[in-house]
Every structure is written in structure tokens, then in C-alpha cells.
Chains A and B, each alone.
Chain A
Amino acid sequence: MASFSTTTTLDEPQVSRGKAGGAPPTFDGGDGGRPGRGLPDYPTRLRRARLGLLVALTPVLMLFVSFTSAYVVRQGLPTLDPRTNQLVRDWIPVKLPTLLFVNTIVLLVSSIGMELARRQTKLAAVAATVKPATEAPISAEGKTPWLAMTIALGLLFLFGQWMAWKQLAASGFYVATTPSSSFVYLLTGAHAVHLMGGVLALLVAGLFALLHRSITTRSIVVDVTGWYWHFMAGLWVYIFALLELAK
């Protein structure tokens, strides 16, 4: 026997997340809470969806971290004026439209609506998993006022951003006017694209309600979109602060 092999005593078989170990057969349902071959249960699906969202937010964060570092670096760079052959700065601070303040409030209010919608659907989903599906309360089906409000406010925010772009252009700041205006369009645009994804996901959730798809699936979509939505609201506040404070 090779003298380099490891010398260990193996522990009892351990199963993650505290499920009972015992001595099950070699093959079973496995997969943490998957009874037989159907879908895993609601808490497992919710946990997985949230984990997936958390992981998916990382590259979004990295994207904006990267934009921020480009912003800071580009702000400090001088350029050569070809007429005078002297180093000058081409970074002209942009006066941001006051409409952006209004948009910020709209988005923050939508985030509150989103949270209420998330809790509402989650309660309905938990209730549906406790009771047999046939007795699902009617109130849990179809009626999603908070969801509708969030979608409306989200669309209002996007419309407001579009109007802010128009105001910027009217005041003479186009995409290529100065690097600072390039960044204003870039950051607001990249954020808007991400928020559109959130609106789309909420529309899908609303469609599920209309199609009478299971409340658990809808709840999971609304739940993760809710966290995504809050992230987008926080991200917007960050972007706005960056553009306003680091001119």
C-alpha cells in the first residue's frame, strides 16, 4: 500500500440541510425534497429560484461596477486641444433634468407596491399549499392590484426616463457631446434595459394569473422579481447619486 495515501475515518453519511440520513437504499428520490418524479415542493423551488436570482445579480452588479470605474477614470483624463496644442479637459458637467427626482420617487413607490404584491402572492401560495388545490380561495386568483400598480409605476418610470433624455437633448447634451453626457445616457439606458426585464417578468406573472396557472409558480416568479425590482431601485439611487455627486 502506498505510504502516501490519506488516513481518514469517514463520518456517518451526512445529508445537507438536515434531512434525515438513516440507511436508505442506494437509489431514492434524492434531490432534497423531490418526492418521486414530480416537481420539488414549494419551499425548495422558492429557495432555488432565490439562489438563482442572487447569483444572476452578481454579473449585473459587475457590469455597473465596471461602468463606474470607467466613469471615474474617464473623468480624470485630459485631452489635447488640436488648435492650441495644450492639454484641456473635455468633461463638461451635465445639468441633470429635475424630472429625474420625480422618476426616482416613482420608482421607490413602485418598490413598495412590489413588496406588497410579493407578500400578498406569497401568503396566497402558502395558503394554497396547505389546503387542497380544489379549495383554493377565490380571492387568491385573478385579483392582483399591487402587481398591476407596480407594473404601471414601472412603465411610468421608463416613460419618465425617456422624457428626461428628451430634456437633456433639448438642453444641448447629446450622447457624444461630452464624456459626461455619454455616461448619463449609458447608465440610464443600461438601467432602463434591466428594469424592462423586470416589467416583462411581472407581465408574465400577471399573465399566469389570467391563465389560472398554479399560484405557487406565480408566487415564485413574483417573489424573485420582487427582489430583482428592489435591486433595480437601489441601483437607480446609486446611479443617480453618482451622476449628481461626481460631476
Chain B
Amino acid sequence: MGADLWIISIAIFCLGALMGALNFITTTLDMRAKGMTLMRMPLTCWAWFVTAILGLLAFGVLLSAGILLLMDRNLGTSFFVPLGTVNGVLTGHKGGSPLLWQHLFWFFGHPEVYIAILPAMGLCSQLLSVFSRKPIFGYKAMVYAILAIGFLGFMVWGHHMFMSGMSPYSAFAFSIMTMGIGVPSAIKTFNWLGTLWRGKIRFSSPMLFAIGFVSLFVVGGISGPFLAQPVLDIYLHETYFVIAHFHLIMGVASIFGIFAATYYWFPKMFGRMMNEPLAKTHFWLTFIGAYAIFMPMHYYGMAGGLRRYSQGTEVGWINQLWPIQRFISIAAFVTIAAQFIFVFNLFWSMKKGKKAVDNPWEATTLEWTTATPPPHDNFGGLTPVVYNGPYEYSVPGAPRDYVMQTDAPVTARH
């Protein structure tokens, strides 16, 4: 019963995600402000757009898997459940394939990790440009890289199943595709560094988290090509090395995106700034804490430390590694405690924060043209007209070091 409710709630979540994706895609395609061509969209919007497409294609498959699972549990069908006994009695199921479940689940599951990380990639690109006072390096390359990651994300689900007994030829194909994702990822990383290079960097709290995101993305991502190889995966699967990899890149990096976005757009939402010293304390504790938790896990995994076991004290080679586990646990508790600084800052600043001006970060995009907090209908019944790209910073000859998207068109070469 409990599991059925759980599956039903996942199915409802699928429907909700599909509706959300439908909204994002149609809005992006047909309801942009006048002058907002696709190639003038902030990268945040591009990332959400591609994320919505991934969701549109992936959640239907999870929904279908959920329906089949519900039928197996309640109608006696055998899509996934093989022949088996419970307490010595045949269950009545026969012939189903758990591997079929794995395929359907991971066909959704791998795009899902990009659904988690792409929005963070987009908004951190945005923030790196704003706080470096420089145009984003390689805007078009960034857009194409997002599209490429989204496309390749559908080709690699098998790398979650290398140990399922799949044909080595299939594993080889999935392996090549997986390592192929490294290419657009490297393009993005290079462009982020290019954006920072010789910029007039303002180390405000959103920027710290955006830089933190890049750092975590690189460190977490670099272990990807290791795990993408079936031969190495024989050893590394089911170890903490995998935990370290995906928590750094998909977990902590995405959460850094959430933090960066919260600190960045909070003034627009609530009309007040978040407390900066508290935000910086939160950043440093979380940043160092995340590394303290997950870097030792790589070593623990390579040394043979298994995941999914609550206790390893009876196993000799794991037993020797307990100081690492203790260090990880302490780091985790400290990092979790640091999050209360953020929660306090969030609610305290809503009431007591410094009043925010309309455009506190001197950014160019549309949300900063309207009042803070925005009036009803965001722009008070009028929609802005766009003349410029989203990253016109340090434009030579311009009166300020930034040109809003709604300002007169920039025609001077720069």
C-alpha cells in the first residue's frame, strides 16, 4: 500500500513536470518580449528551455514505467517481476524482467541528472558575466553546448547498467557516448574561465556561489570519464567513488546554483538585500564543507569502501578506513549546521534586510528594469522591448559600464 501510494505520487509528479515543461517551452517559443530573439535570451532562459525539453521527453517514460509497476503490484501482471517465491510459495508472477525496469528507469534517470544541473549551468553563466563585468565568453558556444548536453543526455542511460550483464558491445557504445558529453562540458568550463579572465570581478555572495559551482562542476565532472569506462566500473561501481562523483557534480553543484540564484534574485523578490557577511560565512563553510565531505570519499571508494552498507566493521579492509568515515561524518554535520545560517538569513532579510534598489547588481536583463519588488503582472501591464543582447558589460563609449537590454541599441564596435 505504501509503495503504491509512493508510485502514484511519482506519477502525479510526472504529470506536473510535464505541465511545467509544456508551459516553459510554449512561453519561450511564442511569448517572448518584442525584440527578444532566441539569441538575445539570457543563458538562464536557454538552460530552462532545454531542461523543459528534456523533461518533456523523459517524464513520459517514467510515467509509463510507473504504470507498468502499478499493474505488476496490483493486477497480477508480470512486466518486471520474474518467477520467484515468498516464504517458499510461488508468487504467481513469472517471466518479468527487472532489467526492463532498469532500462525504462534510466532512460528517464539519466536525462533527469541534466534536468537537475542545466538550470544551475545557465544561471551561473549569467552570474559570472554580471559579476565579472564582461560579456559571457562565447555566448553561441554556450547555447550549442547546452543543446549538445541535452541531446547526448538521452544516449547514455546504459552507463548506469554496465554491471547488469549487458553486451560488452552495448557497454562500449554507451561508454563512448558518455565520454562524448565531456566535450560540451569542457566547452562550458572553458567559457566560464574565459569570462572570469581579466574581468573586474565583484566577489558578492551570488558570485562566490557561481564560482563555487564551476569549481564543484570541474572536480565532480573529472571523475565522470573514469566511471564511464566499463573496465574501471567493474572495480568502482558500488563504491563510494560513485557517491563522491555524483554528489559533487549533480548534488552539491546544483545546490550551489540554487544558493547563487537565491542570493541574486532575493532583492527582486522581496525588495531587500540579504545580509552579506552572513552569506559569505555560509558560502565558505559550505564550500569547504562540501569538499571535506566528498573528496575523502574518492579515496575511500578507491580503497574498496562499499556503498549501501550501514556498517563495515566486520570487514577487515573497510575497518581500517573508519577514520575517513569519521572525518566525513563530522564534516557533514558541520556543513549541515552551516545551512541554518542561510535559513536564518533568508527569513531575517525578508523583514530586516537593507532596502534594495531596482537594479542592485547593475545587471542588464529584463527583470532589473522593473520596480523592486515587481508590480502586479511583473511590468505593470506593459512589456519591455529588447534591443540588446543580455551581456553588454564594459561597452566602450557607453555612459555606464553596462547597457540594459531595453536601452538604445549598441551600434559601436567594441
Q: Which residues of A contact B (CB under 8 A)?
A: 1-10, 12-16, 19, 21, 24-32, 34, 37, 47-48, 51-52, 55-56, 58-63, 65-67, 69-70, 73-74, 77-80, 82, 90-91, 175-176, 179, 182, 186, 190
Chain A nearest CB from B174 CB (Å) reads 16
Q: Which residues of A contact B383 (CB under 8 A)?
A: 27-31, 34
B26–A16 CB distance below 8 A: no
Chain A nearest CB from B377 CB (Å) reads 9
Q: List 17 A-B contacts (CB under 8 A).
A: A4-B198, A8-B414, A29-B383, A55-B56, A58-B57, A59-B21, A59-B57, A59-B60, A67-B64, A70-B64, A78-B95, A82-B83, A175-B77, A176-B76, A179-B78, A182-B78, A190-B67
Question: In the complex, A59→B32 CA distance in Å?
Answer: 24
Closest to B100 in A: A73
Q: Identify which of residues 56-72 in chain B touch chain A, using a CB-to-CB cut-off of 8 Å.
A: 56-61, 63-65, 67-68, 71
Question: In the complex, A13→B272 CA distance in Å?
Answer: 34
Partner among B79, B95, B194 whose Cβ is within 8 Å of the Cβ of A4: B194
Partner among A2, A58, A73, A90 whose Cβ is within 8 Å of the Cβ of B197: A2
Question: In the complex, A59→B92 CA distance in Å?
Answer: 33
A15–B71 CB distance below 8 A: no
Q: Which residues of B contact A77 (CB under 8 A)?
A: 95-97, 100
A2–B198 CB distance below 8 A: yes
Interface residues of chain B: helix, strand, loop or mixed (majority) = loop
A56–B95 CB distance below 8 A: no
Whether B104 is near chain A, meaning CB under 8 Å from some CB there, is yes
A32–B34 CB distance below 8 A: yes
B35–A15 CB distance below 8 A: yes
Residue of B22, B64, B383, B386 with most partner-chain A CB within 10 A: B64
Question: In the complex, A80→B90 CA distance in Å?
Answer: 12
Q: Which residues of A contact B79 (CB under 8 A)?
A: 70, 74, 179, 182
A4–B30 CB distance below 8 A: no
Question: In the complex, A151→B179 CA distance in Å?
Answer: 52
How many CB-defined contacts (below 8 Å) exist between A and B? 180
Q: Which residues of B contact A (CB under 8 A)?
A: 18, 21-22, 25-26, 29-35, 37, 56-61, 63-65, 67-68, 71, 75-79, 82-83, 90, 92, 94-97, 100, 103-104, 107, 134-135, 137, 139, 194-195, 197-199, 379, 381-389, 394, 396, 406, 409-411, 413-414
A62–B57 CB distance below 8 A: yes
Please give me the 3 A-B residue pairs with the lowest Cβ-Cβ distance, nearest first. Answer: A30-B383, A79-B95, A62-B60
Chain B nearest CB from A27 CB (Å) reads 4
Question: In the complex, A77→B92 CA distance in Å?
Answer: 17
Question: In the complex, A31→B134 CA distance in Å?
Answer: 30
A19–B34 CB distance below 8 A: yes
A6–B135 CB distance below 8 A: yes
A28–B382 CB distance below 8 A: yes
Q: Which residues of A contact B92 (CB under 8 A)?
A: 176
Chain B nearest CB from A81 CB (Å) reads 8
B64–A3 CB distance below 8 A: no
A74–B388 CB distance below 8 A: no
Chain A nearest CB from B26 CB (Å) reads 5
Partner among B34, B68, B77, B96 whose Cβ is within 8 Å of the Cβ of A31: B34
A14–B135 CB distance below 8 A: no
Known A-B contacts A4-B134, A66-B60, A179-B77; the reply to A74 vs B34 at CB < 8 A is: no
Closest to A34 in B: B383
A176–B78 CB distance below 8 A: yes
Known A-B contacts A13-B409, A70-B100; the reply to A28 vs B34 at CB < 8 A is: yes
Q: Which residues of B contact A13 (CB under 8 A)?
A: 35, 385-387, 409
Question: In the complex, A240→B126 CA distance in Å?
Answer: 50
Q: Which residues of B contact A30 (CB under 8 A)?
A: 33-34, 382-385
Closest to A16 in B: B37
A10–B388 CB distance below 8 A: yes
Chain A nearest CB from B390 CB (Å) reads 12
A175–B76 CB distance below 8 A: yes
Known A-B contacts A27-B385, A55-B56, A62-B57; the reply to A90 vs B94 at CB < 8 A is: yes
Chain A nearest CB from B250 CB (Å) reads 23
Chain B nearest CB from A86 CB (Å) reads 12
Known A-B contacts A19-B34, A28-B383; the reply to A51 vs B100 at CB < 8 A is: no
Known A-B contacts A19-B34, A30-B382, A59-B18; the reply to A12 vs B409 at CB < 8 A is: yes
Closest to A80 in B: B83
Closest to A90 in B: B95
Q: Which residues of B contact A70 (CB under 8 A)?
A: 64, 68, 79, 100, 104
Chain B nearest CB from A189 CB (Å) reads 9
Q: Which residues of B contact A61 (CB under 8 A)?
A: 60
Partner among A28, A62, A179, A186 whose Cβ is within 8 Å of the Cβ of B67: A186
Closest to B381 in A: A37
A5–B97 CB distance below 8 A: no
